[in-house]
């Protein structure tokens, strides 16, 4: 998404107000109804009226303006010179005031910008704290599921203590064993394949939970975490299917279709294909559903 | 929003003048806002809020009436602890929720739709507003109730996070996270809509 797209989206939130605002008729009509229903007393200095919205609107306007009687016209003509001087004086005052307000406003804006930056920074920190807590919870869950580590011998125990069997190979995750590359020995503490698998499964579960709760954006963030932390080939079908569902929830039909296409290329008989039947990815551009058996 | 009601109030309650403060007596309570001034200032805010929250045009007049009847009834008990817009938004939320529940019971709830409005003096601006309205309302339909309320309060009506939290019954950190998520989600969604056009 480009910066222009972001600015355009932000502008939408402002433009929407021109369509959402009430008209003057809406305002006056509802005020008239309120006056009748609540029997509101007449406003100060205005004639009470209950004959309709137009009269109520007139009552409101009377609060703000006073009619100039015809006799004032002659008086205005007689004092035109003074009025011109007063008009010039007002413009000079307006100019000076505008300059002062501009200076003060510039200072205020910069202070406001600083406050907004501080607020955004606080929000970023809060989001980062939440990410850390999420990762910590995931690590704790993986530790619970992982095979028990050998118990180190306590001081004083003999060397005849039977050693624990080495950690069994990752037979519970044959797909991971085929797809994940073996970790080189010289790399400092690479994650075990079964640990990565458990992390991936946990993240996918959380993605589905967020989708069920209606937070597609949080689901997309978790998918990004998944892409960052586990190899691309791990649980590829599941990830493509989930990616397609998340894209549909975000309104990105094209991305959803691309993920579905890749899934079908990877495994035409994938069981996840039926999960996507009827989704936005399963529809052609004219909105009709695709036949799962038809070629692309 | 729970506001204790002390009974019917007049249109403008009596306000103590500065003489009482000058004599060293305890500061009088700040004068309550005048109902008509409140209406003139904030009617558009309540109208927009109800529209954003999904109240259909045929029911909008009744809904906004309910809001302002409640405002009139509770104005005497308004203690000024919350911002006036927070208070009004909370009332509008309650009215919308009650209306939604009764609509569900009558099974007459219709999906949100763009309605035609009389064009204003600036047709170009009106057209932009209508397009923005369509996009924003479609996005709102993808949100659950809680996120929709936060989106309306914070991103459409500009309430501060603390005000949004008070109006929607959330805590402030949750509002921060929701607003950030919603802003980014809306930008991505809108950009995707634009890319598909």
Q: What is the DSSP string of A110-157?
A: HHHHHHHHHHHHHHHHHHHHHHHHHHHHHHHHHHHHSPPPPPPPPTT-
SS3 assignment, position A186: coil
What confidence tier does B139 reach under pLDDT thresholds 50, 70, 90? very high
N-to-C CA span, chain B: 42
Contact A250 B181 (CB under 8 A): no
What confidence tier does A52 reach under pLDDT thresholds 50, 70, 90? very low
**Amino acid A210: pLDDT:** 81
Q: Is the pLDDT of residue B151 over 50?
A: yes
Residues ≥6 apart with Cβ < 8 Å to A150: A163, A164
And the tokens for B76? 């005497």
Contact A18 B39 (CB under 8 A): no
Contact B48 A27 (CB under 8 A): no
Residues ≥6 apart with Cβ < 8 Å to B39: A31, A34, B68
If one counts every other C-beta atom within 10 angstroms of the C-beta of residue A15, the result is 21
**Amino acid A216: pLDDT:** 78
A33 interaction partners in chain B (CB closer than 8 Å): 61, 65
**Amino acid B137: pLDDT:** 92
Q: What is the pLDDT of residues A139-157, one digit of tens each?
A: 665 555 554 555 555 555 4
What confidence tier does B52 reach under pLDDT thresholds 50, 70, 90? very high
Asked if A34 has any chain B CB less than 8 Å from its own CB, the reply is: yes
Q: What is the pLDDT of residues A246-276, one digit of tens each?
A: 888 887 888 889 999 999 888 888 888 888 8
**Amino acid A48: pLDDT:** 45
**Amino acid A75: pLDDT:** 56
A195, HSE (Cβ side, Cα atoms, 13 Å):
16
Contact between B187 and A9 under an 8 Å Cβ cutoff? The reply is: yes
**Amino acid B176: pLDDT:** 87
Alpha-carbon gap, residue B65 to B143, rounded angstroms:
27
Burial of B104 (0-12, 13-18, 19+ CB in 10 A): exposed
What confidence tier does B50 reach under pLDDT thresholds 50, 70, 90? very high
Residues ≥6 apart with Cβ < 8 Å to A152: none
Closest CB to A217: pick one of B117, B118, B185: B185
Contact B180 A41 (CB under 8 A): no
The percentage of chain B sitting over the pLDDT mark of 90, rounded to a whole number, equals 36
Q: What is the DSSP letter of A158?
A: -
Long-range CB pairs of A8-11 (<8 Å, 24+ gap) are: A8/B190, A8/B191, A8/B194, A9/B186, A9/B187, A9/B190, A9/B191, A10/B187, A11/B132
A18 interaction partners in chain B (CB closer than 8 Å): 120, 125-126, 128-129, 132
Mean confidence (pLDDT) of chain B: 78
pLDDT mean over A229-249: 87
Contact between A9 and B190 under an 8 Å Cβ cutoff? The reply is: yes
Contact A16 B117 (CB under 8 A): no
Q: What is the 3-state secondary structure (H, E, C) of B106-162?
A: HCCCCCCCCCCCCCCCCHHHHHHHHHHHHHHHHHHHCCCHHHHHHHHHHHHCCCCHH
Q: What is the DSSP letter of A233?
A: T
Phi–psi pair at A291, nearest 5 degrees: -80, 120
Q: Is the pLDDT of residue A116 over 70?
A: no
Contact between B70 and B97 under an 8 Å Cβ cutoff? The reply is: no
The larger pLDDT score, comparing residue A190 to residue A14, is at: A14
Asked if A6 has any chain B CB less than 8 Å from its own CB, the reply is: yes
Q: Is the pLDDT of residue B195 over 80?
A: no
What confidence tier does A130 reach under pLDDT thresholds 50, 70, 90? low
Asked if A5 has any chain B CB less than 8 Å from its own CB, the reply is: yes
Asked if B186 has any chain A CB less than 8 Å from its own CB, the reply is: yes
Mean confidence (pLDDT) of chain A: 68
The percentage of chain A sitting over the pLDDT mark of 90, rounded to a whole number, equals 6
If one counts every other C-beta atom within 10 angstroms of the C-beta of residue A198, the result is 22
**Amino acid A26: pLDDT:** 92
What confidence tier does B90 reach under pLDDT thresholds 50, 70, 90? very high
Q: Which residues pair with A289 in a beta bridge?
A: A283
The percentage of chain A sitting over the pLDDT mark of 70, rounded to a whole number, equals 47
**Residues in B 150-179 with any Cβ partner in A closer than 8 A:** 155-156, 173, 176-177, 179
> Could you give the C-alpha distances from A75 to A78, A81, A85, A110, in angstroms and in order?
5, 12, 16, 49
pLDDT mean over A20-47: 83
Q: What is the pLDDT of residues A155-195, one digit of tens each?
A: 554 444 444 444 444 444 444 444 444 444 444 555 566 78
**Amino acid B51: pLDDT:** 94
pLDDT mean over B132-140: 91
What confidence tier does B68 reach under pLDDT thresholds 50, 70, 90? very high
Alpha-carbon gap, residue B16 to A100, rounded angstroms:
35
Which ipTM score applies to this complex? 0.73
Query: What is the residue whose two structure tokens read 């919308």?
Result: B96
Determine which of A251, A280, A286 to mutate to test the interface with B (most B C-beta atoms within 10 Å). A251
**Residues in A 116-135 with any Cβ partner in B closer than 8 A:** 122-123, 126-127, 130
User: How far is Cα of residue B115 from the mean position of the Cα atoms in its chain?
Assistant: 20
**Amino acid B13: pLDDT:** 40
Contact between A287 and A265 under an 8 Å Cβ cutoff? The reply is: no
Alpha-carbon gap, residue B116 to B124, rounded angstroms:
15
Q: What is the pLDDT of residues A68-110, one digit of tens each?
A: 444 545 555 555 666 666 677 777 776 776 667 666 656 555 6
């Amino acid at each position: 998404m480009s910066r222009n797209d972001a600015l355009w989206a932000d502008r939408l939130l402002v433009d929407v107000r021109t369509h959402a605002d009430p008209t003057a008729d809406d305002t006056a009509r509802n005020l008239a109804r309120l006056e009748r229903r609540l029997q509101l007393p007449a406003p100060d200095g205005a004639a009470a009226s209950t004959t309709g919205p137009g009269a109520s609107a007139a009552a409101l306007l009377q609060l703000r303006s006073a009619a100039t009687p015809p006799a004032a016209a002659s008086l205005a003509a007689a004092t035109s010179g003074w009025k011109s001087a007063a008009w010039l004086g007002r413009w000079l005052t307006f100019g000076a005031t505008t300059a002062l307000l501009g200076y003060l406003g510039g200072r205020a804006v910069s202070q406001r910008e600083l406050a907004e930056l501080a607020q955004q920074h606080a929000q970023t920190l809060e989001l980062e704290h939440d990410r850390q807590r999420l990762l910590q919870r995931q690590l704790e869950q993986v530790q619970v599921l992982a095979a028990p580590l050998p118990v180190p011998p306590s001081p004083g125990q003999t060397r005849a203590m039977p050693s624990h069997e080495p950690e069994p190979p990752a037979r519970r995750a044959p797909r991971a064993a085929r797809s994940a590359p073996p970790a080189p020995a010289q790399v400092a503490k690479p994650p075990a394949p079964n640990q990565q698998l458990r992390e991936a499964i946990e993240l996918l579960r959380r993605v589905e939970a967020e989708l069920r709760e209606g937070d597609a954006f949080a689901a997309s963030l978790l998918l990004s975490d998944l892409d960052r932390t586990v190899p691309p080939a791990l649980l590829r079908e599941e990830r493509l299917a989930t990616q397609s569902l998340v894209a549909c929830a975000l309104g990105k039909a094209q991305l959803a279709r691309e993920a579905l296409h890749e899934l079908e290329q990877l495994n035409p008989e994938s069981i996840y294909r039926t999960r996507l039947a009827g989704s936005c990815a399963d529809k052609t551009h004219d909105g009709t559903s695709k036949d799962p058996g038809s070629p692309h | 929003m729970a506001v204790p009601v002390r009974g019917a109030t007049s249109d403008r309650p009596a306000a103590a003048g500065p003489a009482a403060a000058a004599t060293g007596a305890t500061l009088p309570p700040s004068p309550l806002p005048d109902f008509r001034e409140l209406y003139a200032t904030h009617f558009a805010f309540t109208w927009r809020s109800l529209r954003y929250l999904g109240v259909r045009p045929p029911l909008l007049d009744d809904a906004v009436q309910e809001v302002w009847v409640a405002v009139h009834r509770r104005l005497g008990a308004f203690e000024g602890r919350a911002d006036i817009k927070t208070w009004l938004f909370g009332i509008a939320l309650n009215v919308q929720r009650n209306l939604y529940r009764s609509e569900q019971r009558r099974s007459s709830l219709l999906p949100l739709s763009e309605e035609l409005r009389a064009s204003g003096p600036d047709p170009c601006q009106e057209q932009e507003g209508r397009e923005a309205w369509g996009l924003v309302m479609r996005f709102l339909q993808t949100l659950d109730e809680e996120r929709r309320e936060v989106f309306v309060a914070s991103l459409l009506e500009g309430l501060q996070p603390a005000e949004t939290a008070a109006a929607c019954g959330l805590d402030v950190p949750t509002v921060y996270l929701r607003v950030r998520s919603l802003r980014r989600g809306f930008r991505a969604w809108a950009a995707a809509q634009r890319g598909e056009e």
